[in-house]
Structure 1
Amino acid sequence: MALRILLPLLLLAAALLLLPAEGVDNVASDCCLKTSKKTIPSALVKSYRIQGPETGCQLRAIVFTTKKEKKICSSLTSLAVQKLIRSLEEKQKNPPKKPQGRSRRQNGKRV
């Protein structure tokens, strides 16, 4: 009789321990807690994303990722940030063209 009552309770406890808690996510643990006011050179930045309540973060911000994989949090309202976002979007639309033909190294060799 005691086993009938104890077994479902043990199964429920095990399920609660094994299942992840709702609202806990890797993205939320990667949230910006404050923003930087420094200007970021566009040559250093490769991408950006927007964080806010829809991504599980309290602070609404732009998160830039540098070419060295560093994250920089910036304010959405900064004019410099908006200009940098437009610049990144323009680069995505029109990626730089690679030179065609022989490389400099090949041109210098004599056969």
Structure 2
Amino acid sequence: MALRVLLPLLLLAAALLLHQAEGVDNPASDCCLKTSQRTIPIKWVKSYSIQGPESGCVLRAVVFTTKKNKKICFSPTDPAVQKLIKDLKNPRRNTSQGKPKRQKRKQV
């Protein structure tokens, strides 16, 4: 008799646990495990984000997303990375990467 009552309760508990486990979003699954020592040209970069303990990751890193949607991790203390972030934040950044635009001559 106890089995008839206990079995449905166990099945219900198992179903609830499975439902909760499916809904858990693990932010640490997309964390950088190491950082690159290379440099990346600004013209390749579309955006960046910063990861660290506040985002569920052990390693603090700057994650640049390229225009080809690849993610590359860099050390946030690297001066070249800090300069790249500063350049990305600058709204007056020229998209032609330093090439001045030609202006039309006005004929008098």
**TM > 0.5 fold call:** yes
CA-CA distance at 1:95 after TM superposition? 6.5
CA contact (8 A) 1:47 1:66 kept: yes
CA contact (8 A) 1:23 1:56 kept: no
Structure 1 residue aligned with 2:75:
75
CA contact (8 A) 2:87 2:93 kept: no
Q: How far apart in 1 are the matches of 2:19 and 2:88?
A: 42
Structure 1 residue aligned with 2:7:
6
Residues 44 and 62 (structure 1), Cα distance of their counterparts in 2 relative to 1, 3 Å cut: same
Structure 2 residue aligned with 1:20:
21
In structure 1, the gaps of 5 or more residues are 98-111
- Opposite residue 12 of structure 1, the aligned amino acid is A
Q: What count of residue pairs does the alignment treat as equivalent?
A: 94
Residues 71 and 82 (structure 1), Cα distance of their counterparts in 2 relative to 1, 3 Å cut: same
CA contact (8 A) 1:50 1:62 kept: yes
% identical aligned pairs: 57
User: 1:14 is paired with a residue of what secondary structure?
Assistant: helix
CA-CA distance at 1:46 after TM superposition? 1.1
In structure 2, the gaps of 5 or more residues are 96-108
CA contact (8 A) 1:47 1:65 kept: yes
TM-score normalised by structure 1 residue count: 0.75
- Opposite residue 6 of structure 1, the aligned amino acid is L
CA-CA distance at 1:14 after TM superposition? 1.5
**CA RMSD in angstroms, aligned pairs only:** 2.1
